[in-house]
Structure 1
Amino acid sequence: MRAAAAAADVATETDGWEAGVRRVQPLNADRVEAPQGTPPIVLLPGFGNCTADYTAPFGDEEASVAAALQRRGFRCYVLPVERKDWFKVARALLTLAYWRGASTTHPGYSWYLERVAELVDQARRETGSEQVDLVAHSAGGWLARAFIGQGEYRQGGANASEDTLGSAELEPHPAVRALVTLGTPHTPPPPDKVKDMTGGALTWVDATWPGACFAGQGVRYVAVAGRAVRGDRDADRRTLSGYAAGSYQQVCGEGHETEGDAVVPLRSALLEGADHVMLDGVFHSMSRVRTFNEPSGLPWYGDERVLDAWLHTLVRP
């Protein structure tokens, strides 16, 4: 594995860990400006998030990751998603495969991937670019891996079916130049420790297109991971370390003493074969844990203070 940036390049330790939280202030990395001809960015929301979280979080457009990217000269398209859309994932509950832990992305996540296909085509059409860069937050990252590999989504959002899923030859979507994942749970938990919360969909994606599957065919993979909270199973679940212990347990099967971004453990957010950017003191979301409508006030992956620490991976030769 290659390291695109080390934690020391992004953050400076003050007093290290305090009550399981790494109170580190990220440094302002060199500002990244989009070179001429840079492909447009298609930004993919995480599970439970909506478009506004990335375009106008808590009603503030200027504080959005989309605005920050645009200020740097990047053309940014955010997937149209409403929070209620995520209830469509429940379609998988009607399948026997889900209860057997053998789900694919169909039917629970087909709606999301179809929209990705449509937005990729729109971004290419409006900018005249042959390719796009996918920047995917949280669950959007493993869904992006499925999008890159599933041939049925190469025709502008064509409807998937059980008969076509995963039937394409092992070739990447030709319109994707790069995938940057931000706090994505890339690997399912060990089945002997905890059940895959996706009903097997994540397990299927990781087995079908393992690691940086298409790196040898021209797709650039970058996995960005935060190291901000150490899980503590004995702590009050209302604290960050207590909450993180439970979240990490669900994601990787181990929560106590595990480090991550308060939601996704470090070990799960790294992807075999990808460039890795590990950020001290950077949290999973723009929102407080357990909420979507309260700002955390803490630096997250799309924060203006953090953005340039991983954005440089899209502009290097």
Structure 2
Amino acid sequence: MAVSFSPLHFKPSFCFSASPLPKFSCSIRPAVILPGLGNNSGDYDKLRLILQKRYGVPSVVVKVSRIDWLRNAAGLLDPNYWRGTLRPRPVLDWYLNKTDEAIQEAKELAQGEALSLIGHSAGGWLARVYMEEFGISHISMLLTLGTPHLPPPKHLPGVIDQTRGLLNYVDKYCSKPGYNPELKYVCIAGRYIQGARLFSYSDANTIPAAASITNNQPAPELTIANTPTFRARFVGQGYKQVCGESEVWGDGVVPEVSAHLEGAINVSFDGVYHSPVGSDDELRPWVKVGEASFG
């Protein structure tokens, strides 16, 4: 199915924490790219090429295939999955080990210098888990693209934690921005579409208006200017599962509010959609966002 995207304006909005920003070296750091859920390494070839040719940033993509993600089904055997208290390990050890292999490869390119991590979607919070478990001595920046950092609110009707507790673990146990002044956090969110409630107040008002029409009265012209589209309602239900709210802006999958972290350098780009699994290069807007982040 073809998907069309609105043009990227590259007029980002920035949100900085009140604390002073740390100082960083201007030397070029090799980058390790962590794929998002369902993506494979090849989805990030163009981003890797742009970073190298245009900015001189060598990068290594964590070697992940689409079928690898089926390993997560092992979590179904863990009672914590059904309780909603699942932990990243051992279910996601396969991803963390592959990340470590990519980082060891990148460290050879770095020749003693620090590395940057670029996490797309779930790859962003998986990068945080990696840093918590494997250490951060060789990492100086984490850049996340459309990553749902915050867990969904508990005990909210109609909201089910899709991660079965994983994001609660990340939020509770993984270090926040500012914990280490030598580690820079940059969180990028997309503003592609605003969600809507499944049933809005305007919908209720249209029913009695239509019922009041009689055979002796001309039918009034009905306006749907303020009626949310089916797509906005559908997207809104997805947003609700992530942040508890449906009428918010986001990239079509992850709400803007969930993709930002307190204390990080938070940036929002207009017209950026959450890259669909298997999209071709023309329909992968995060490539351009990643490019802009290093430009």
User: Residue 198 in 1 paired to residue 163 in 2?
Assistant: yes
Call closer, same or farther: CA 1:294–1:120 in 2, change over 3 Å: closer
The answer as to whether partners of 1:183 and 1:226 remain within 8 angstroms in 2 is yes
Q: For 1:206, give the aligned amino acid.
A: D
Q: Distance in 1 between matches of 2:233 and 2:280?
A: 19
SS in 2 for 1:26: coil
Call closer, same or farther: CA 1:49–1:293 in 2, change over 3 Å: closer
Call closer, same or farther: CA 1:233–1:296 in 2, change over 3 Å: farther
Map of 2:185 onto structure 1: 221
Map of 2:116 onto structure 1: 133
Q: 2:42 aligns with which of 52, 65, 68?
A: 52
Identical aligned residues as a percent: 37
Map of 2:64 onto structure 1: 81
User: Residue 253 in 1 paired to residue 244 in 2?
Assistant: yes
Q: For 2:145, give the aligned amino acid.
A: L
The answer as to whether partners of 2:43 and 2:278 remain within 8 angstroms in 1 is no
SS in 2 for 1:66: helix
Q: Shift of residue 309 of structure 1?
A: 3.2
User: Residue 300 in 1 paired to residue 285 in 2?
Assistant: yes
Q: Distance in 2 between matches of 1:236 and 1:90?
A: 34
SS in 1 for 2:150: coil
SS in 2 for 1:302: helix
Q: TM-score, normalised by structure 1?
A: 0.72
Write out per-residue CA displacement over residues 231-268 of structure 1, whole angstroms, 9 at most, x where no aligned residue: 1244565x3x244212212211222x210011100000
Q: Shift of residue 174 of structure 1?
A: 0.7
SS in 2 for 1:136: strand
Map of 1:124 onto structure 2: 107
Q: 2:258 aligns with which of 264, 268, 290?
A: 268
The answer as to whether partners of 1:22 and 1:280 remain within 8 angstroms in 2 is no
Q: Distance in 2 between matches of 1:54 and 1:139?
A: 14
The answer as to whether partners of 2:58 and 2:109 remain within 8 angstroms in 1 is no
- How many residues end up aligned between the 2 structures? 248
Q: Shift of residue 299 of structure 1?
A: 6.1
Q: Distance in 2 between matches of 1:28 and 1:226?
A: 12
Q: Distance in 2 between matches of 1:259 and 1:28?
A: 16
Q: Distance in 1 between matches of 2:11 and 2:191?
A: 17
SS in 2 for 1:42: strand
Q: Distance in 2 between matches of 1:129 and 1:244?
A: 45
Q: 1:66 aligns with which of 20, 37, 48?
A: 48
The answer as to whether partners of 1:40 and 1:129 remain within 8 angstroms in 2 is no
Where in structure 2 are there 5+ consecutive unaligned residues?
A: 13-24, 199-227
The answer as to whether partners of 1:40 and 1:74 remain within 8 angstroms in 2 is yes
SS in 2 for 1:273: coil
Q: Shift of residue 129 of structure 1?
A: 3.3
User: Residue 278 in 1 paired to residue 268 in 2?
Assistant: yes
Q: Distance in 1 between matches of 2:191 and 2:26?
A: 33
Q: Which has the higher contact order (CA 8 A, sep 6+)?
A: 2
The answer as to whether partners of 2:85 and 2:165 remain within 8 angstroms in 1 is yes
Q: Distance in 2 between matches of 1:302 and 1:309?
A: 9
Structure richer in helix, relative to its length: 2
Call closer, same or farther: CA 1:120–1:226 in 2, change over 3 Å: same
Write out per-residue CA displacement over residues 7-49 of structure 1, whole angstroms, 9 at most, x where no aligned residue: xxxxxxxxxxxxxx994542499xxxxx984121000000111
Q: For 2:286, give the aligned amino acid.
A: Y
Write out per-residue CA displacement over residues 137-178 of structure 1, whole angstroms, 9 at most, x where no aligned residue: 00001111111111xx3xxxxxxxxxxxxxxxxxx5211111
Map of 1:169 onto structure 2: none
Q: Shift of residue 74 of structure 1?
A: 0.6
Write out per-residue CA displacement over residues 251-309 of structure 1, whole angstroms, 9 at most, x where no aligned residue: 11222x21001110000000111011111111111x3xxxx344495562212xx3443
Write out per-residue CA displacement over residues 166-214 of structure 1, whole angstroms, 9 at most, x where no aligned residue: xxxxxx5211111000000000100112232111111101111253163
Q: 1:209 aligns with which of 169, 174, 180?
A: 174
User: Residue 177 in 1 paired to residue 140 in 2?
Assistant: yes
SS in 2 for 1:145: helix
Higher CA-based Rg: 2
Write out per-residue CA displacement over residues 68-122 of structure 1, whole angstroms, 9 at most, x where no aligned residue: 1111211010000000111111111111111111111012211101111121111
Q: Distance in 2 between matches of 1:185 and 1:136?
A: 11
Q: Shift of residue 224 of structure 1?
A: 0.5
